Amino acid sequence: MVKMVKATSRARPAVALEHGAVPWLLLVATVTAGPHVTHLPWWLSLLVGGTLSWRAWLWQQRRPLPPRWTLALLVIGTVAAIGWQYRTLFGKDAGVALLVVFMALKPMEMNSRRDALVVVMLGYFLLLTHYLYSQSIPTGLWLLAAITLLTAALIRLHGGAQPVVTVLRHAGLLLTQALPFMLILYLLFPRISGPLWGLPQDAYAGLSGLSEQMAPGSISRLIQSGAIAFRSRFDGEPPEKSDLYWRGPVFDEYDGLTWHTRARPGGSATPAPVVEGVGQSYAYSSILEAHDRRWLLALDVATRLPPDSSLAPTLEAVSREPVRVRSRFSFVSSTNYRANVIEAAGILEQALVLPEGINPRTRALASEWASRPPARIAEAALAMFRNEDFHYTLRPPLLGRDAMDEFLFDTRRGFCEHYASAFVFLMRAANVPARVVAGYQGGEINPVDGYLTVRQSDAHAWAEVWLAGQGWVRFDPTAAVAPSRIEQGIVAALPAGEPLPIVVRLDADWLRELRNRWEAANNTWNQWVLGYNPQRQREVLSRLGWRDPDWRGMTASLAVLCGVALLIVTLWTLPRRLAADPVQRAWRKYCTQLGRRGISRAAWEGPLDFAQRVAREKPDLAALTSEAAGYYAKLRYGRSARTEHDLRRLRQCLYRLPPRRRNNA
């Protein structure tokens, strides 16, 4: 019991928080919690900002902190409000909101260095949550600056008052020493498949792109987005722009308003498609953004597919699982081909089905053409679109029950889905198998990295007609109405004032160059940072000469390289430690000699506090230690310039120590 009491009485006392350290901690709270205001409720953002401003005012006025019961009521009320806002206290959004609130409220009870350390550690943890919402380059740069600030705050807490530049330089030096370990862990630490930053319930939120149905206006709304759908890089010269049809879903069911994809029977009910490439083939790799669908948006039509994918009976390349993370695929495609010259009867029958009782004028027109050969019927429809007064626009008028009749004979204003739908309806009404294909058309080569960038604004719809002896043949009625859409892109085809995204309307060369460089940098970031998956890791290690890496070898290499890096960093920092500040060296030598005389200074103990303890425990050394501590504090923390006289007096204190008493046996 005596030993326990003695041990307790010598417990380390709480170190009071310096007044000058508080701004550092408030800045830490602001920097780590601030970016979350973009997705927090407005009332919570105001609460956090008001709380931190209140704490800054208390610091400036040197006012006491509020009583604990006030904070307790504030915490209870805020937690209840968060639970009401999100209907839960668990999950990503509610959890992040709680962390932000704790970060704002903790400084209100911050009196000791221990409380300040809690703020800093909470800041490190809160930084991780930013990647749950954004993994962009600006987010990475912000977090790099924030972690430098956090490290600097730690240095300020333990190192006392120092110039801001000195503290930041020291923090940068520490982070620089960590770079070799970061690179080694990046290369060799086992990677996982799937998104690293995300939670199961919201891993696929916010995905956009083509859907499994197409109604008037669906693609025109998609066109108004400048987001990147995918990037492709060809092994050689890419095809002509007019040949860049990227095949997505195929719609072969029509209910009078909306086109739908049809579930494909499994097994041998539908034979595998037969595609014969005619002419040149193109090898390329595509980096698809997540769209939560199975289609891979290959160049029409793919003749060689990546692993775990297949060619659907309707000729679109599909993967085994939906594309829920940014993924890379390699293809070989032929833009001139013969596909399914011998087609399954069920597919041809489905390609003739039309709902009854609608669009009588369109059916009458098709019946006039029905006696012609199928290819001539298709040419007649294209000639009608080409020669008559049809207009290409993102703002067509609304259509009623007989949508095709109103479009073909009354409004004559529409977008690609209107023209593709009307064309296919005409073909089916004339007893010619036809279907609608959606995807993307065109793209723009980025001269910085050589990737062809395809945006959501390149979304397109066209038609396919089955012709005996030729198979499925592409017909694009939009090209008959607005040929510039296919040859030059969406911007050239639409008149000024149409609601296109600014990113695709850039005219100034310097703005286009800036966009290209930024998107190339993002592409590199996506591939080598966010997309550094197990496959990419194996590719990198193979290039480094490691043909068949396994987890045992990677673990051993990780340990060895980290040890080598630690040795190099030690050899780099050791001379700097030996060449430390002469003031610190003199003080350490003095404290070492006191330790040999039976009183050791704790690592957390400041010079003046240590001198007071020496006065209590070693009265004979009190005056000399107080003098030495005074010189050290003046030289180390004083605002006046250092003088050789004071440093010499500090060194003399060491030589004035009385000799140690030796116990003779």
Active-site positions read 416, 460, 476
354, 256 contact by CB (below 8 A)? no
In the chain, the amino acid numbered 390 is F
Q: Rounded distance, CA 227 to CA 328, Å?
A: 18
Write down how long the chain is.
665
Q: Rounded distance, CA 359 to CA 257, Å?
A: 11
557: number of Cβ within 10 Å: 16
DSSP run (H or E) holding 560? helix 551-578
What is the rounded radius of gyration, in angstroms, for the C-alpha atoms of the chain? 36
In the chain, the amino acid numbered 579 is A
Of 311, 322, 215, nearest to 259 by C-alpha is 215
Of 502, 477, 504, nearest to 490 by C-alpha is 504
98: number of Cβ within 10 Å: 18
Percentages of the chain per state (helix, strand, coil), in multiples of 5: 55, 15, 35
Q: What letter does residue 539 receive in the DSSP assignment?
A: H
128's CB contacts (< 8 A; 6+ apart) are none
What is the torsional sign of CA 147, 203, 185, 289? negative
623's CB contacts (< 8 A; 6+ apart) are none
385 burial (CB, 10 Å; 0-12 / 13-18 / 19+) is: buried
Local structure of 446: helix, strand or coil: coil
540-544 LR contacts (CB < 8 Å, sep 24+): 540/187, 541/187
Q: Rounded distance, CA 386 to CA 392, Å?
A: 11
For the record, the structure tokens of 526 come out as 């996506």
For the record, the structure tokens of 486 come out as 């296919």
For the record, the structure tokens of 622 come out as 């009190």
655 burial (CB, 10 Å; 0-12 / 13-18 / 19+) is: exposed
Q: Rounded distance, CA 168 to CA 483, Å?
A: 59
For the record, the structure tokens of 586 come out as 């003199």
Q: Rounded distance, CA 251 to CA 213, Å?
A: 7
Phi, psi of 519 (to 5 degrees): -70, -35
594: number of Cβ within 10 Å: 21
Of 62, 320, 572, 228, nearest to 564 by C-alpha is 572
Of 625, 630, 633, nearest to 653 by C-alpha is 625
Q: Rounded distance, CA 248 to CA 114, Å?
A: 58
24: number of Cβ within 10 Å: 22
Q: Rounded distance, CA 24 to CA 32, Å?
A: 12
Of 431, 456, 442, 453, nearest to 378 by C-alpha is 431
Q: Which residues pair with residue 414 across a beta bridge? A: 392
